[in-house]
């Protein structure tokens, strides 16, 4: 009987997966080596060509590449270009050019590089770079990286590295990088401890997470194991996911007297991507508890209340004093629908973005990028978001809870604005309602809407949640007259704000792999096709 072994890494997720046949005489690693050594010239040179941005790369098809993440790479290149301008020394009048190494430029580590595409794009598109290290654990990937560095003539800036990502970053705790980019397959948490130590004070950390099922509440116990927080199945689960990742990064940074400052955090397609600056300061780390909160989520009407872990107070001398909040912030059952609460978190409850940085980024994004329209649209929506309001409601969920016709977005936003509250979209959901109004106000507006568009008596009687919510009388009447600011500028300008998915190649895809005896594996699959049907007929 023949067996299959997988060569992978406990520490690395973008890696080479090789299928080999077990032999009692020849060790499996010798089989892999002999197979590679005897590979024909045609197989070795049969490469897939990829053009993206200013880079052109070739791969033998063994390493990970996802064309849908062009948006991710375009945005990352734009953010780094804006970051370079922001960290330039005061009075530095040097005119930086892309593709030229500068002694005073920034150093970049792409810890999980795969084809090397991202690093090569950084080298050719970002002015003011000193050097870039493109690292991967897979030997096949490093061969591709070296080939692509030569193909793009960026050997003066990009250097390949064949190392475990965590060990490489631990080795650079003293000789730190200005920028570290982590874009693994799945959960990034295993890389964070080394990453927060290997980035310079004021440096930039870029982190991607694609394990959205875990972060979005499908497996809260797994989320706690990986990120140290409980996820929730809630309509604003994508924002909860971003905030869980941020608290995880902050937790790792605090262990070394460091803290983070998010400048841009997004949730798009099948992943989340955060851009945070890392600073050193033990005193500032004490403020972390005031940036984190637990979330009380109603299991009936989807309302939520945040409970901060700590609060800041100022004494008569304007000195900051640290205190603990009292709680819980809710009754045992929800005051709106009478259901119980789930408790999630802790999550990051401070702002997700730096409006000043986002504004600069919008003005500096290159119009030649393949996803320029989408980048501009999403960044514009982000700039319109209420940065001091964590989480959001969704319009259809509010209407569904009381079994009523869904109001138009303009009508609902107008009701909030007419009442003196602030409201915005979230870039994460096209029906999102992000507002500083209390949940009581939100439900009072829905009760007023129901008066104008009554739900059927049968619907109200059959649904306990709807009947309990509608049984309460609104404290005041809310006007749905159209407010002049009800339609945001991003929509008026016709920007591409919410891209329809799925597109081709949508999703995180499979782990990169190089298959040996692949024909045998394929023939086995073909042999098993229709096996159950054949057995039943016989």
| DSSP sequence for 182-222 | E--SS--HHHHHHHHHHEEEEEEEEEEE--HHHHTTS-HHH
Which residues, 6+ apart, have CB-to-CB distance to 183 below 8 Å?
Answer: 14, 69, 72, 110, 112, 118, 206, 207, 208
Residue 22 pLDDT:
37
Q: Does residue 138 sit in the same domain as residue 34?
A: no
Q: Does residue 157 sit in the same domain as residue 232?
A: yes
Q: Does residue 105 sit in the same domain as residue 159?
A: yes
DSSP tag of 288: G
Residue 329 pLDDT:
94
Closest listed residue to residue 229, CA positions, set 216, 220, 237, 219: 220
d(CA 286, CA 284): 5
Residue 40 pLDDT:
40
Q: Does residue 379 sit in the same domain as residue 468?
A: no
Residue where one domain finishes, among candidates 338, 367, 384: 384
Is there a domain that residue 211 lies in? yes
Is there a domain that residue 319 lies in? no
Strands (E), 239-281: 258-268, 271-280
Cα distance between the two ends of the chain? 26
Is there a domain that residue 307 lies in? no
Q: Does residue 277 sit in the same domain as residue 413?
A: no
For 149-175, give the DSSP string: HHHHT-TTTEEEEES-HHHHHHTTSSS
Is there a domain that residue 411 lies in? yes
Q: Does residue 276 sit in the same domain as residue 367?
A: yes
Residue 523 pLDDT:
52
Q: Does residue 164 sit in the same domain as residue 225?
A: yes
pLDDT in tens, the chain (538 residues): 333 333 334 345 443 333 333 334 433 333 333 433 444 444 445 667 888 999 998 877 555 567 778 999 999 999 999 999 998 877 788 899 999 999 999 999 999 998 999 999 999 999 999 999 999 999 989 999 999 999 999 999 999 999 999 999 999 999 999 999 999 989 999 999 999 999 999 999 999 999 999 999 999 999 999 999 999 999 999 999 999 999 999 999 999 999 999 999 999 998 999 999 999 999 999 999 999 999 999 999 999 999 999 999 888 888 889 999 998 999 999 999 999 999 999 999 999 999 999 999 999 999 999 999 999 999 999 999 999 999 999 999 999 999 999 999 999 999 999 999 999 999 999 999 999 999 999 999 999 999 999 988 887 778 899 999 999 999 999 999 999 999 999 999 999 998 776 655 555 655 544 333 334 444 554 555 555 545 555 5
Residue 97 pLDDT:
93
Which residues, 6+ apart, have CB-to-CB distance to 63 below 8 Å?
Answer: 14, 16, 114, 115, 136, 138, 140, 141, 144, 512
d(CA 448, CA 404): 11
Closest listed residue to residue 16, CA positions, set 48, 61, 56, 58: 61
CATH number reported for the structural domain that contains residue 464 in this entry: 3.30.56.70
Is there a domain that residue 41 lies in? yes
User: In this structure, are residues 114 and 514 in contact, taking their beta carbons and an 8 Å threshold?
Assistant: no
pTM: 0.85
Q: Distances from the Cα of 172 to the Cαs of 5, 122, 165, 202, 336, in angstroms? A: 33, 20, 11, 16, 53
Is there a domain that residue 324 lies in? no
Residue 68 pLDDT:
77
User: In this structure, are residues 485 and 417 in contact, taking their beta carbons and an 8 Å threshold?
Assistant: yes
Q: What is the 3-state secondary structure (H, E, C) of 90-119?
A: CCCCCCCCECCEEEEEEEEEECCCCCCHHH
Q: Distances from the Cα of 514 to the Cαs of 13, 259, 330, in angstroms? A: 14, 39, 54
Per the structure block, which two tokens stand in for 192? 């964070």
Q: Does residue 150 sit in the same domain as residue 219?
A: yes
User: In this structure, are residues 246 and 263 in contact, taking their beta carbons and an 8 Å threshold?
Assistant: no
Residue 69 pLDDT:
85
Q: Does residue 524 sit in the same domain as residue 466?
A: no
- The strand order across the sheet containing 258-268 reads 158-162, 129-136, 101-110, 177-182, 199-209, 271-280, 258-268
**Positive/negative CA dihedral, 242, 247, 252, 253:** positive
Q: What are phi and psi of 382, to 5 degrees?
A: -60, -40
Residue 61 pLDDT:
57
Residue 484 pLDDT:
95
DSSP tag of 14: S
Q: Does residue 378 sit in the same domain as residue 447?
A: no
d(CA 260, CA 392): 23
d(CA 214, CA 237): 10
- Number of domains into which the chain is organized: 3
With both helix axes pointing from N to C terminus, report the angle between 372-384 and 355-364 in degrees, rounded to the nearest 10. 160
CATH number reported for the structural domain that contains residue 376 in this entry: 3.40.50.150
Which residues, 6+ apart, have CB-to-CB distance to 506 below 8 Å?
Answer: 68, 269, 270
Residue 45 pLDDT:
52
Residue where one domain finishes, among candidates 358, 384, 410: 384
Residue 208 pLDDT:
97
Q: Does residue 372 sit in the same domain as residue 468?
A: no
Q: Which residue has the tokens 């997720």?
A: 13
Q: Which domain holds residue 106?
A: 70-287+349-384
Residue 33 pLDDT:
36
Q: Does residue 41 sit in the same domain as residue 177?
A: no
Is there a domain that residue 54 lies in? no
Is there a domain that residue 499 lies in? no
Residue 46 pLDDT:
63
Closest listed residue to residue 233, CA positions, set 397, 94, 353: 397
User: In this structure, are residues 3 and 521 in contact, taking their beta carbons and an 8 Å threshold?
Assistant: no
């Amino acid at each position: 009987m023949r067996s299959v072994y997988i060569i992978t890494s406990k520490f690395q997720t973008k890696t080479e997966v090789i299928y080999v046949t077990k032999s009692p005489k020849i060790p499996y690693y010798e089989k892999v080596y002999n197979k590679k050594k005897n590979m024909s010239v045609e197989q070795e040179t049969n490469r897939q060509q990829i053009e993206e941005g200013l880079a052109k790369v070739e791969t033998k098809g063994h390493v990970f590449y996802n064309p849908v993440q062009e948006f991710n790479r375009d945005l990352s290149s734009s953010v780094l270009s804006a970051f370079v301008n922001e960290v330039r020394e005061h009075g530095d009048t040097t005119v930086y050019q892309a593709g030229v190494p500068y002694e005073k430029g920034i150093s970049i580590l792409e810890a999980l590089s795969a084809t090397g595409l991202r690093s090569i794009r950084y080298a050719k598109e970002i002015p003011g770079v000193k050097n870039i290290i493109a690292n991967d654990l897979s030997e096949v990937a490093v061969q591709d990286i070296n080939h692509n560095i030569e193909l793009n003539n960026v050997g003066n800036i990009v250097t390949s590295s064949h190392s475990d990502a965590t060990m490489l970053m631990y080795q650079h705790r003293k000789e730190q990088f200005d920028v570290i980019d982590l874009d693994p397959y799945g959960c990034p948490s295993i890389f964070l401890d080394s990453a927060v130590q290997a980035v310079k004070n004021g440096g930039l950390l870029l982190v991607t997470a694609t394990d959205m099922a875990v972060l979005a509440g499908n497996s809260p116990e797994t989320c706690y194991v990986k990120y140290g927080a409980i996820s929730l199945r809630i309509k604003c689960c994508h924002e909860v996911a971003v905030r869980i990742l941020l608290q995880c990064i902050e937790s790792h940074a605090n262990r070394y007297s460091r803290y983070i400052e998010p400048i841009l955090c997004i949730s798009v397609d099948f992943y989340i991507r955060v851009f945070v600056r890392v600073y050193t300061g033990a005193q500032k780390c004490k403020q972390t508890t005031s940036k984190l909160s637990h979330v009380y989520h109603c299991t009936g009407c989807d309302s939520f209340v945040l409970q901060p872990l700590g609060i800041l107070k100022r004494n008569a001398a304007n000195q900051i004093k640290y205190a603990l909040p009292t709680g819980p912030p809710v009754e045992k059952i929800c005051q709106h629908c009478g259901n119980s609460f789930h408790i999630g978190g802790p999550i990051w409850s401070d702002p997700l973005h730096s409006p000043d940085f986002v504004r600069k980024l919008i003005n500096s994004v290159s119009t030649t990028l393949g996803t320029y329209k989408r980048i501009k649209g999403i960044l514009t929506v982000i700039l319109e978001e209420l940065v001091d309001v964590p989480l959001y409601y969704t319009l259809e969920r509010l209407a569904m809870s009381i079994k009523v016709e869904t109001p138009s977005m303009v009508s609902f936003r107008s009701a909030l604005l007419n009442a003196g509250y602030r409201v915005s979209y979230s870039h994460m959901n096209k029906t999102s309602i992000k507002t500083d109004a209390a949940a009581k106000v939100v439900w009072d507006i829905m009760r007023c809407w129901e008066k104008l568009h009554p739900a059927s008596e049968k619907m109200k009687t059959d649904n306990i949640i709807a009947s309990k919510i509608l049984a309460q009388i609104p404290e005041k009447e809310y006007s749905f007259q159209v407010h002049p600011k009800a339609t945001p500028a991003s929509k008026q300008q016709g920007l591409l704000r919410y891209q329809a998915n799925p597109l081709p190649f949508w999703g995180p895809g499979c782990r990169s792999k190089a298959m040996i005896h692949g024909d045998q594996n394929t023939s086995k699959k073909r042999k098993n096709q229709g096996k159950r049907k054949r057995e039943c007929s016989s």
